[in-house]
Each structure stands twice: as C-alpha cells, then as structure tokens.
Amino acid sequence: MPLHLIERMVAEDQGEGDAVVCIHGLGGTANTFGPLLPALTRHRVLRPDLPGSGRSQRAEGALSIQRYVDAVQAFCDRAGIARAHVLGHSMGTIVAQHLAVQAPRLVRSLALFGPLIAPPEPARNAMRQRAAKAREGAAGLHDIVEQLSQVAVSSETRQHQPLALAYVRESLMRQDPEAYARSCEALAGAEAAAVERIACPVLLVTGDEDGVAPPQNVRAMAEKIAGARVLVLPRCGHWTPVEKPEDCQRALRDFLSSQRN
C-alpha cells in the first residue's frame, strides 16, 4: 500500500480501478473508512489524513474548510487522479460538497455519511468551546472523548458494539490537542457550499440517532441537491461507517454499481 507525504499531509493509496477519495471528519483519520474498504475492492482508494488530523498533525497555521479542499485537490493532482468518486464523513462531507462545486470535473459522485451543509450557530459555539477545552491538554481532550462517547454513537453501539465504541474513542484520543483545537475552529467557521450547483450523483447516509446530521436535516439537504438519495440507518449514531459497516458497504456498493449501468 503506497503512502504519500505531500507538504506534511499523509495519505494511503491502495488498489486499482476507478478512483475513490475519502475525506474524514473532525476527530477522524483515514481509518474512518476502513470498514468500507470491502465495498471498494475494485477501486483505487486514496485516504488522506487531513491537515491537523492523524498523521498530518504537524500542519502549521490556521485550518479551514478551504484549506482542506485545496489539500485534497493537490493530493489528487500529485497522485494523477483527474476523476474520482468522493466519500465524506461529518466535517468531511462539507469539504466534499465544496470540492464538488469548485472542481466539478474532478468529482464523479458524492457518498456522504453523517452529512451536513454547515453547522448551525449553536454548534459553531460548541465547536469554539471544544477548541478551548482541547487546549487544556490531555485532560481536556479526555473530557471531550468522554462526552462524545456518550452522544456521538447510538445506544445500541454503546451497549453491544464495544469494538466500534473503542475505535471512536481511540480515534479521538490519538489527536494532538492543539491540532484538534484548530480543526474544531475550522468546523466552527465552515460556510455552506452552493449545493444547488452539485450535478453529480449524490448519496446521503445518516443514522436515526445522529444528533449532528438528524434525518430531518438530511432530507432537507437532499431537497436542495437534484436527484440526491437518502438512507437512514436504524439504531445508528453519527459514526455511520463504524457503527453500521455492513449496511454502509451495501449502500455504497449499490450506489457505485448504479453508475456503471
């Protein structure tokens, strides 16, 4: 599996076939999409750690949605990818939407898990408070992990899927506190993309217990994007690929197959 390092940003590159680019969310890494790889065996899959996250924590300066968009485009250019299916989770879905608007020739389709157009004002304030908490260091990040472990996954996941819950905790715990704080600020400052201009096929997947991307909001989002499909997974929280991997694999496989017909 080739590993790319471009301007302190790391990405895994594996497989052959039509390209798929995966964009993780706040507190995530390339590993967020590991559970979906069985549905992508016939594709070339590029999974970056966004600047400030995972193995790309050494990124300097302020972070923003536009910086993420530019970074993903630069990676695609360097990797020789001119056309790709784009997968996003949480904050990564905002990045993916901007990418589809700004580089429509690059984005062949969008499959967005836990999608949102932009955070509402209460969520922006919460992100700023979370950034301040993260800057308290390990203790502050521990408090964030404890809180999100209770609210970001479904009750079924907490009770019956200890490995999924452990993954979410580990993904958050391994973030650098300062880099995570700047990532929170990037999300707090996120602006909505002109989603009505998205012309490629779009799949929106959320959970019925997703408080970040509740079903009613995702359905309203779909109304702004011509032809967008919505799938609501039962007994599922915000970490859809991790909490319901088989369901997400099936939905993704069907979505990509439909574009070959």
pLDDT at residue 1, rounded to an integer = 60
On whether residue 67 sits in a domain, the answer given is yes
On whether residue 175 sits in a domain, the answer given is no
Distance between CA atoms of residues 101 and 65, nearest Å:
13
pLDDT at residue 6, rounded to an integer = 67
Distance between CA atoms of residues 87 and 183, nearest Å:
19
CATH number, residue 55 = 3.40.50.1820
Q: Enumerate long-range contacts of 77-82, CB under 8 Å, 24 or more apart.
A: 78/4, 78/6, 79/4, 79/11, 79/13, 79/46, 81/19, 81/21, 81/44, 81/46, 81/106, 82/106
Give the count of domains, the chain. 1
On whether residue 140 sits in a domain, the answer given is no
On whether residue 151 sits in a domain, the answer given is no
On whether residue 130 sits in a domain, the answer given is no
pLDDT at residue 261, rounded to an integer = 53
pLDDT at residue 7, rounded to an integer = 65
Domain, as residue range, for 252 = 3-119+193-258
On whether residue 127 sits in a domain, the answer given is no
On whether residue 147 sits in a domain, the answer given is no
pLDDT < 70 regions, the chain: 1, 6-7, 261
On whether residue 9 sits in a domain, the answer given is yes
Q: Which parts of the chain fold into alpha helices (H)? A: 65-79, 91-102, 121-134, 138-151, 155-160, 162-173, 177-188, 215-222, 240-243, 245-258
pLDDT at residue 61, rounded to an integer = 86
